[in-house]
Amino acid sequence: MTVEEVLKILEMQEEVLQFSHFTHADAWAVGNAIVAEASRRDLAVAVSIRLNNGSTVFQYEFDGTGLDNEHWMQRKMNTVKYKEMSSLRAYTELQVSGETLDDWAMDPREFAICGGGFPIRVEEVGVIGVILVSGLEHVADHDLIIKCISKYLHVDEIPRIRGSF
């Protein structure tokens, strides 16, 4: 799969995986779905759902995760909030364009260009927050989110990216 094909899949994921509404109850359900899937697969990850107003509406960290994961999630949150796209899509767009974080006026100490942050986009509203996973290889962080959001939204067919690219 070419990087351009990956970019098209990421754009499609963001277009299809939108919420009609997003409440704290939705955050609880989505967060618990991610935790359940990670537990089923014996993955040590940190999961967080944060709104753009600064509120953390869900967070869980498996044993083996910690402050390092917190820092990664904050930097992924900053990227998604600033660019209004998944952090993996930002990573891929930089690969395609040949640009750098400097070209986007983004400080690498504050922004992470890697998978694991996905925008909570509400139809006819826009991006209101971010779903975050940290602890796996970055494409796997992204894919865990996509798998669980798809299931929650009852989207049966969504292209997914697995492995490195």
In a domain, 74, yes or no: yes
| Cα separation values, 151 from 5, 37, 44, 146, 155, Å | 23, 11, 21, 9, 6
Q: Is residue 159 part of a domain?
A: no
- pLDDT(138) > 80: yes
Asked if the structure places residue 132 within a domain, the reply is yes
Residue 30: is its pLDDT beyond 80?
A: yes
Q: Is pLDDT at 107 greater than 90 in this prediction? A: yes
Domain limits at 85?
3-152
Q: Considering the domain boundaries, does residue 124 fall inside one?
A: yes
pLDDT the model gives residue 50 = 98
In a domain, 55, yes or no: yes
Beta strands in 15-122 (DSSP E): 46-51, 56-61, 117-122
The confidence band for 56, taking pLDDT boundaries of 50, 70 and 90, is very high
The answer to whether residue 153 scores a pLDDT higher than 90 is yes
Q: What are 4-20's pLDDT values in tens digits?
A: 999 999 999 999 999 99
Instruction: Tell whether the model's pLDDT for residue 38 goes beyond 80.
Output: yes
CATH code (residue 127): 3.30.450.150
pLDDT 10s digits, 62-87? 999 999 999 999 999 999 999 999 99
Residue at 126 is within a domain: yes
- What confidence category does residue 1 fall into, taking pLDDT thresholds of 50, 70 and 90? confident
Query: 52: pLDDT confidence band, cut at 50, 70 and 90?
Result: very high
Does any domain span residue 158? no
The half-sphere exposure of 142 on its side-chain side, counting CA atoms within 13 A, is 29
pLDDT greater than 80 at residue 164 = no
User: Cα angle vertex 130, ends 160, 27, to 5°?
Assistant: 95
What pLDDT, on a 0 to 100 scale, did the predictor assign at position 162? 78
Averaged confidence pLDDT in the chain: 96
Task: Specify the number of domains making up the chain.
Answer: 1
pLDDT given at position 53: 96
| Residue 161 domain flag | no
